[in-house]
Structure 1
Amino acid sequence: MLKRGHTSAYGIGCVIDTETGLVLDLAVLSSYCQACSCAEARCGGQDTAQFQTWLAHHTDCNGTTMAHLDLVAWSTMVSDGDSRTFKRLTEMKVYGDDVKITKEECINHVAKRMGTALRKLATQTKKTGVTLGGHGDGKLTKGTIKQLTIYYNNAIRANHDNLDGMVNAVMASFYHVSFFQKALAVGKQPGDHKTNMTHRLSPEVAAHIKDVYVRLSDHDLLSHCLRSVTQNPNESLHAKIWAKCPPRLAS
């Protein structure tokens, strides 16, 4: 029986404080019960009257649902953008109608969206005959995409608690690699763009990726990044836990 992965019969839920990294609460659940499994085989299936009679007196079942963890009530959670856990908790209203659960984005996961979006755009435009990637000057190379992702991450981290500053910094990182206007701003003749900038974008490439920057600098998205929190403590703890568990449990 699998003990790891999305199809595992076992689950561990932990509440970790984002300020201290301390584990505040935890729950270990399983959707599998050895007694139920044996009784089902002995009775000929779950739908038999014999099994239902046995089940009515089975009060110490080890199999519990993983849909809800009976943890301490915390109204703010940090998660990645497509968190099914947050959606499920919101739909279930696990703390009642009066407690609204809010979500903060893990800034590392948000930053990864830049790289993912740029790679996807390069693939899509290539199908239409427009080549944004490659190895030419000003192209959207792997190294450039990596650096743009770092710039995006830095813009978020450097402007925590300042939403407008965060939005402006994200767009500034785009214009930084798109236009070389610093010299003109101080009345000097600009130097060669190729020489002065390691990671730069051609006007054609910049025109195609600007919409990505506009989307990823959206106020609603970045408003969930104002505390610059990450899921690093969570992922580190899970790695420690599962490293001590064998991949499978002998049945």
Structure 2
Amino acid sequence: MAYSQISPRFLIMFHIGINNQTFINGGAGGGNVSAFGPLGAGKKPEVFIHDAWTEYAVVQKKLHIGAGLHYWNGVSRMASASTLNFLTIDAPIFNWPLIELSDQFARQFGLYIKGELGRFYYQTSINKPFSAPTPVSVLSNGNAINAPTGLNVARDAANNNWALQGYYTYQFLDKESTLLPFRVGTYVGTKKVFNIGAGFHSHPNATASTTARDIDGVATAVSRHNMNLFGVDLFLDYPFGGDKNMAITAYSVFTVMILAPIISVM
């Protein structure tokens, strides 16, 4: 990962790397290990671009605009978590609700704005999600293309709609750096942080479900649904023990995921 503050107002950032490689899996471009035999499953992993974006400060600290493949996510703090400094229990995957579905390892292409107004911090982006491979539809003869497998089951659906997302937080104690999107998991006793935040992610017609079948079980009607995700969270990192760098770290999040008419709550 590398970034450069080319001028007081202009920043570029580039991040390339490997994810999820171990000695026994994650190799050969994400899992195609047939060419390497039984001893090759962890070799030659795929290197890919994580982040590539540029940013301009319209009003220093208060209003920055940027564009590219970015990680300025909505819903919650941990939807943009740093993987370098979080605790072992900080990575339940639902914190990245769309990972590898409509994003590239939690990143999407888009435009964003961010800034600080006193102790209030905001970030909002409009993005072009990666699409499902084939459309969900029903042909005129009643044969379904990529239709969901059962009634009341929603799945990702190909579409060209843009998604809107944002995250907003109030910082009661020490202010955190907002130069990069990666949210710290613990400061290990070096900061006093207490934040309350809220966020969302909205993608029109992102999912689809089969609403009717004929007597042979073939889908005859498919309905599309808007996807709306909401989150409210709290983060506390409070030092104690003097110069021993000990801290109490706590994080709690409540999320509501509306993927179809049925609501998922976590």
Same fold per superposition (TM over 0.5): no
TM-score, normalised relative to structure 1: 0.23
Q: Higher strand proportion, which one? A: 2
TM-score, normalised relative to structure 2: 0.22
Q: Higher helix proportion, which one? A: 1
